[in-house]
Structure formats: C-alpha cells, structure tokens
Amino acid sequence: MSHYEEALSEAKQQELLEKYDPEAGTRKLKGLPLWIAFAGLLTFSLFHLYTGIFGMLTAQLQRSVHLGFALALIFLLFPARKKNRGKEYKVAWYDIIFAIVSVIVGAYWPVMIDELVLRTGNITQIDFFVGLSAILLVLEATRRTVGLPITIIAIIFMVYAVFGPYMPSAIAHRGLELDRLVQTMFFTTEGILGTPIGVSSTFIFLFLLFGSFLIKTGVGEYFNDLSIAIAGRSVGGPAKVAVFSSALQGTISGSSVANVVTSGAFTIPMMKNLGYKKEFAGAVEASSSTGGQLMPPIMGAAAFLMVEFIGGISYWEIAKAAAIPAVLYFTGIWIMTHFEAKRIGLRGLTKEEMPSRKEVLGKLYLLLPIIAIILLLMSGMSVIRAALWSIVITVVVSAIRKETRIGFRGIIDALVDGARSALGVAAATAAAGIIVGVVTKTGLGLKMANGLLDIAGGALLPTLFLTMIASLILGMGSPTTANYVITSTIAAPAIILLGVPDLSAHLFVFYFGIVADITPPVALAAFAAAAISGGEPFRTGVESTKLAISAFIIPYMFVLSPELLMIDTTWTYLIWVVFTAFIGMIAISAGVIGFWVRKLNWIERIASLAAGLCLIYPENISDIVGLVLFAILLTLQYFYKRGQISNVQN
C-alpha cells in the first residue's frame, strides 16, 4: 500500500491554509477581475526581476512601487470579511476604490519625486492626504492578510506618538502633530517606506520567487520521498520523516502553517497509522515545521531584516551562525520522537510502504539549486544576485527530466505564485515600518530597553527571560517579520546593553518570535496540525512545546556562549560545545519523554533533566558534572535492562 493513499487532498490542504494562515485566504476571482489580478501579480514579479537584474531604484521609488503593487493586489484578492475567503466572491465596490487609491499612493513618489525632494521636511495638503491614505490602506491591508494583532499594535504605537505628553512619565515625550506623523510615515525612510519594506522589496521578494520556482519542480514532494528513503525504515520512521522533511521544507516556505499543511498532509496520516497518538503526531509536525524557519540557508523572512538591523554583517554570516542552533533544534525533536517510538513500541515503514529508493536517488539533482545558493552565498556574492542565479539554475535543473520540467506556463505560474506569497510579507513589513518610525521619533526603544533592565535588576538571565516572554506574546498570531521588528527595536537593545554580541541578541528574539507559532494559547501551527490529525488543538500545542523544548533552551545557550554561533571561537572549543550540547539534548529528551533505554521513574527523569541542563550550560564545571551524571544514568539504564532480560531468561 502506498504511503500517499491517506494523505490529505489538495482541496483540504487549501481549506486548512485559509483557516489558519491569513495570508492564504484569497477570494476566488473570475472574469475581468481575475485577469487584472493575474496581470498585476505577473507585472509585480517582472518589476522585481528587472530591478534585481539591472539595479534597484532609489529607496523611496523601489519601496513605494512595491507598496503600491502589494496594496492594490491585496484589495483585489483579499475580501474584507474572513467568511468570504476561498469563495467565489465579487470584488466589492469599496475594494475597487481602495485598489485605485493604492495605485495612486504607490505612484505618488515616482511622479512627484522632484518636488518631494525639494520640499523635504514640509508637506502640502495633497501630500498630507496621500500620506494619510497610505497609512489607512496599510492598516487595512495588514488586517486582511496578516490579522488583527499586528494591526492593533501599529495603531497603539501611532496613538502613543500623537498623545506622548499625556503618557506616564517613564515613556512620555513631546508628541507629534498629525501632519508631522504623516510626514514621518510616508515621506521619509523611517516609517512605512523604512528598512522593513526595503528588505521586502529586495531580498525577501526574490527569495520567495526562488521558493515558488522550487515548488514548481516538485521539490516539496521530493523532500517527503527523500526523507522517507532516509528515515522511513527506522524505529518510529514516519515521525522522523516529518522532522527531516519539515527541515527541508523550510527552505522553500517562510510560513510555519504552510509547512504544517503541505508536509503534514503526508506525514501525520502515516504517524497515526503506525500508532502515534493524534496529539503527538500533530505536535511532531507542528514543531518541525515551525523550526523550518530556523534552518539555513534560507531562513524566515526576518533573517533578511536582521542584515539591515544589525549592520556590517552579511546574510551568509547570519545563516552560518544559525546553522548549529538549528541542527540542535531538530536533533532534539528527532531524539524525542525516537524515545517516544521506543516507549510505545512503534515500528518503521515496511518495504511495501516505502517509495522506490532507485527513483528517489535518481531525482537527487533537484537539490542542486539549494546546493547552488549555499555555494553562491559562501562565495561572497550579493544576496540579490544569489537569488537570481538560483532561480535560473532551478529552471535549468528542472529541464533534466520531463516530469520536473517547468516550461513557459510553469514559469509564468511561478512568477504569479511568488508575487502572491509576497503580499502578506509586504503588508506586515509596511505595518512594522509604522512601529519602527514611532520608536525612532519618540526614543521609545531606549526607554523600553532601560525599563526592561530596571525590572530585571540589570541582571542578564532575568532580562533574557522577560525578553523571551515579550517575544512569545508579541508572536502569538503575528507574523515573524513584524514580531522581530518590534522585539529587535525594543527588547534586543536591552540585551546588547549588557554586553551580549548584537548577533546573539537578535537571534534570541528571532527564535522566540518563531516558536510562538506552537506556544499555547495562540499556536496557529499546532492548531493547523491538530486539524489534520483530528487531535485536541490545545493539547497538541502543549505537546509541540514539549517537543520544541530545545528552542526554549538553545537561545540562552548562544547568548551565554556566543561560540555556538561561531563567534570568536576555535574549532576545538566549538566541537566541545556542540558535543556537550548534543549529549545534553539526549538527556533532556529522555527526561521529557520518560524513556531512555527503558522507562524512567520520576527520580531518573529529574536527574536526566538536571544532567541535560548542566551539559547545555556552557561552563567547564557544569559540563563535567553533567557528563558524570549522564554516564551514571546511562550505566544504570543498561544494567537494569540487562538484569530484567536475565530475570526473564531464568
């Protein structure tokens, strides 16, 4: 029996995406609106390919054109009410007006650039209304594509900007007049047209296009086949397949929910068939898919923002630094699924349930674009050029076999799908720009950072803990990009003030913004997985959090020991840190699951957790204590099991 027979249908996958991923909830168009949207999306991609090849426009022009395209297409594709998503629903008259005004807003800078540059710092009445329209359109577009949380946060920040004098003394400021606020938001590069949308209009868009072309080659399905060929026959194989394939899926998708639905459509039914509980099956997929955004070479969209926010660092340096923590994250989930499979006695897939290994290995060439982008980034090539060449390589590689060949129609579809996937990111980064603009103008970032340090008493661990809580709360229901922008401007500076390297501080908030997708009570990735598995959503979220326990520990590790990010270290010490961290993950996994070589009693579980924490904490004495405790526990496990076997034989 094929392992695909019980996989979810494409229609069901789309239904789940629309329910749990706001960015997937487009209306179904037909007739003239359909062709207008199709032409708009295609032109959107062609604009970015043109500027990527021949050189970007000036910041205001590149970003305003990007914004105009995104806003107009959002109002054509995303209905105002959630209940109309995924349905054949006419474009409302007000959406047509919004789309037209969006085009005017996007064209305003290109048309009026000479005048706008001459009167820098002053705006006319027409400027004011165009800028105000831009703000309102961004807020509404963000609500439709991303959801209410980030929209409400952006509104709160603008209210704070205007009513600064009436705020508590700790965060009070002089306040901004409405025209000054509008001027900052749209007529400078500190607001909507700031760094976040700047990254969206350059790096992120082209990498989303790259992911779209990869999907057209069938590489997503191939990841599943390759994962099954590698791990399917082992103990609890389907769960390990979910871990492996989701790590690979992270290369082509920047959405935790999208990863869950596309990969989980195959892996969750397999796990259930072999005996995993519904909640555990869903949790394995949710935690693995969420971690896909942590996996280099192409991480979540926020990683591209990090390049601009830190400054003086290349994307490759960020991807390289994130490699070891990402491997440790997936190693932790892999070990836990292994122990759980042993605990309940689950088998791997049979030979009949496996895909043909010969066919799978025959398609290894599909990985060439991913290998190529790693090599291109390592060579020092710019991120934009690396993305463009990777798209070309993907098209060439797809032509090797007829079944993977993209063709002209496939190229057009990939360009349209890539542009559609960029709409939510564009809206989120525009809204994030509003927040950054307010923080910059009011000095709120420094005030919040100092306030955070005061609450934590100036100590590092309490500051890290409070930052973690803030990142998790802000990340619940918000896109990673917006969450990262907020926490990197407010919380990360507090960590940096305590002497932590910039990269460690930014990756810390990046990690917790991502794992918010599986942290109850608002755990969208876990809820999507529960919808596939049939499990209880909240329990699935709890199980996901347990499996992703490494994601709650690893960020503390690389803050306390930046060597884990390959910062100012030697290879010998790096190997030692990774080795002790890996052993620590085994001990923690055993303690969480309650099984190692055999079932653990409560004392052994506590001892395992203690040993794991000692090994993960980067300090020589704690490493020695952890290794000794680990060795004692492992020895007791084997002796006890051998004793049990001897008793049975006697």
Q: Tens digit of pLDDT for each residue in 104-134?
A: 999 999 999 999 988 877 889 999 999 999 9
pLDDT tens-digit readout, 323-348: 888 888 888 888 988 888 888 877 77
Sorting pLDDT into bands at 50, 70 and 90, what band is 470?
A: confident
pTM, two decimal places: 0.86
Give dist(CA 366, CA 398) in Å, integer.
Answer: 7
pLDDT tens-digit readout, 234-277: 777 777 877 877 777 766 665 677 778 877 877 788 788 777 88
- CA within 13 Å, CB half, 139: 17
Mean pLDDT score, 169-182: 90
Residue 102 lies inside a defined structural domain of this protein? yes
Residue 175 lies inside a defined structural domain of this protein? no
Burial class (CB in 10 A: 0-12, 13-18, 19+), 515: buried
Sorting pLDDT into bands at 50, 70 and 90, what band is 89?
A: low
Q: Which two tokens stand for residue 607?
A: 């001892």
If you average pLDDT over each of 86-95, 168-177, 190-199, 332-341, which comes out highest? 190-199
Sorting pLDDT into bands at 50, 70 and 90, what band is 650?
A: very low
Residue at token pair 């890996």: 582
Least confident of 104-118, 161-175, 342-356: 342-356
Residue 614 lies inside a defined structural domain of this protein? no
At 174, is the secondary structure helix, strand, or coil? coil
- Report pLDDT for 649: 46
Nearest to 515, CA basis, from 223, 317, 302, 318: 302
Nearest to 629, CA basis, from 576, 586, 573: 586
pLDDT: which is higher, 201 or 362: 201
In the chain, pLDDT over 70 holds for what percent of residues? 92
- Report pLDDT for 120: 75
Give dist(CA 343, CA 589) in Å, integer.
Answer: 12
At 199, is the secondary structure helix, strand, or coil? helix
Sorting pLDDT into bands at 50, 70 and 90, what band is 19?
A: low
pLDDT: which is higher, 485 or 37: 37
Helix axes 502-515, 549-560, angle to 10 degrees: 170
> Does residue 643 register a pLDDT over 70?
no
Residue 358 lies inside a defined structural domain of this protein? no
Sorting pLDDT into bands at 50, 70 and 90, what band is 103?
A: very high
Total Cβ atoms within 10 A of residue 277:
17
Write out the residue range of the structural domain in which residue 122 sits: 12-165
Mean pLDDT score, 356-384: 86
pLDDT tens-digit readout, 502-513: 999 999 998 988
> Does residue 370 register a pLDDT over 70?
yes
Q: Which two tokens stand for residue 463?
A: 């500051």
At 348, is the secondary structure helix, strand, or coil? coil
Least confident of 171-180, 336-345, 417-426, 460-469: 336-345
> Does residue 88 register a pLDDT over 70?
no
> Does residue 1 register a pLDDT over 50?
no
In the chain, pLDDT over 90 holds for what percent of residues? 34
- Report pLDDT for 316: 87
Residue 130 lies inside a defined structural domain of this protein? yes
- With beta carbons less than 8 A apart as the criterion, state whether 271 and 238 touch: yes
Q: Which two tokens stand for residue 80?
A: 């105002």
> Does residue 2 register a pLDDT over 50?
no
Residue 34 lies inside a defined structural domain of this protein? yes
Sorting pLDDT into bands at 50, 70 and 90, what band is 389?
A: very high
pLDDT: which is higher, 528 or 430: 430
pLDDT: which is higher, 48 or 86: 48
Residue 536 lies inside a defined structural domain of this protein? no
- With beta carbons less than 8 A apart as the criterion, state whether 302 and 513 touch: yes
Q: What average pLDDT does the structure give for the chain?
A: 86
Total Cβ atoms within 10 A of residue 271:
28
pLDDT tens-digit readout, 596-637: 888 888 899 999 999 998 988 777 888 899 999 999 998 888
Nearest to 203, CA basis, from 127, 118, 363, 314: 314
Q: Structurally, how many domains does the chain consist of?
A: 1
- Report pLDDT for 572: 86
> Does residue 354 register a pLDDT over 70?
yes
Nearest to 558, CA basis, from 480, 627, 630, 495: 495
If you average pLDDT over each of 119-123, 348-352, 460-464, which comes out highest? 460-464
Residue 59 lies inside a defined structural domain of this protein? yes
Tell me, rounded to whole angstroms, the distance of Cα 493 from its chain centroid: 22
